[in-house]
Amino acid sequence: MIERFSLNQWTTRYWPLPDVVAGCAAAEVRGVGLWREPVAEYGLTRTAKLLREAGVRATSLCRGGFFTADGALADNRRAVEEAAELGAPVLVLVSGGLPGGSRDLDGARDRVADALAELAPYAGRYGVRLAIEPLHPMFCSDRCVVATLGQALELAAPHPPEQVGVVVDTYHLWWDPDAYRMIGRAGREDRLAIFQVADWTTPLPAGVLTGRGLLGDGCVELRRLRQAVDAAGYDGPIEVEIFNEELWAMPGPRVLALCLERFREHVLDG
């Protein structure tokens, strides 16, 4: 099952893109989760060529969304086009938080629904699947008003499953009393677009963004969640996506080796 392992690029944030791809190929890792900024920096066409030549595929592109920002829709259309050119089957959407100074949470959530209605057919034409990512509720005000898997499924419901799915990320939903029930529902409704893993550790750092733990360092039942996602019918890639200053300070190949080791130990069957 190690062939399902995919390295999300942000786990090795400062590892240059060609090195990530070469490093993955050398470690027989065949999937990477890409981010738009480093791809743009290296060049879109050039990145696509690099992947093809190395035999590494993009398992997802991070990220579209942030729908309350100016020009968001045009930018999201470009993100869809980029995913298509990279051969990434999934574009991860982080919805964005409340506009500055706003308290209108329902309104912000309505705008996400509106943006999806615009974007889904466009993604469909490019053969890219939008994946709504519920983020942990501690990000609700400033990053993502979509806070639970149940809410993501409600937002996906009006759209064909091949156009709109959801992200299941262990870091964001491990705490949810409805997590397993909603993973089952996501499977039945054919919405499981991508599965991401990171662990939960405390204390959280200031700003909380970079507090994610290496697999096995925290309290998340990673294997149980992976089994639940599998039981719901998902057999796609499993991206390791960890935002962590200590990992970012380490050499890329070392982080990749560590992630592979922990993935075997804590995510795969024992």
Q: Which of 3, 40, 102, 231 binds its own copies (CB under 8 A)?
A: 102
Cβ neighbours for 97, distance < 8 A, ≥ 6 positions apart: 68, 108, 139, 140, 141, 142, 143, 144, 145
Provide, rounded to whole angstroms, the least separation between the CB of residue 119 and its own copies: 21
205 binds its own copies per the rule CB under 8 A? yes
Calculated CA dihedral for residues 90, 94, 95, 98, nearest 10 degrees: -170
DSSP string, 199-255: EE-SSPPTTSTTBEEPTTSSS--HHHHHHHHHHTT--S-EEE---BHHHHTS-HHHH
Q: Which of 17, 220, 256, 260 binds its own copies (CB under 8 A)?
A: 220
Provide, rounded to whole angstroms, the least separation between the CB of residue 200 and its own copies: 6
Binding mask 134-153 for its own copies (x = CB under 8 A): --xxx-xxx----xx-xx--
Q: Which of 23, 31, 64, 218 binds its own copies (CB under 8 A)?
A: 218
Q: Which of 1, 26, 69, 204 binds its own copies (CB under 8 A)?
A: 204
Q: Which of 70, 71, 74, 103 binds its own copies (CB under 8 A)?
A: 103
Q: Which of 133, 176, 239, 241 binds its own copies (CB under 8 A)?
A: 176
Distance between CA 219 and CA 202 in Å, rounded? Answer: 9
203 binds its own copies per the rule CB under 8 A? yes
Q: Is residue 264 within 8 Å of residue 219, measured between CB atoms?
A: no
Distance between CA 190 and CA 161 in Å, rounded? Answer: 6
Provide, rounded to whole angstroms, the least separation between the CB of residue 91 and its own copies: 23
174 binds its own copies per the rule CB under 8 A? yes
200 binds its own copies per the rule CB under 8 A? yes
175 binds its own copies per the rule CB under 8 A? yes
In the chain, count H helices and then E strands.
11, 10
**Count of residues in contact with its own copies, rule CB under 8 A:** 32
What are the Cα distances from residue 251, in Å, to 103, 213, 257? 42, 17, 10
Provide, rounded to whole angstroms, the least separation between the CB of residue 140 and its own copies: 4
DSSP assignment, residue 2? G
Which residues in 25-64 contact its own copies (CB under 8 A)? none
Give the position of tokens 């999201």: 76
Binding positions for its own copies, rule: CB under 8 A: 98, 102-103, 105, 109, 136-138, 140-142, 147-148, 150-151, 154, 174-177, 200, 202-208, 218-221
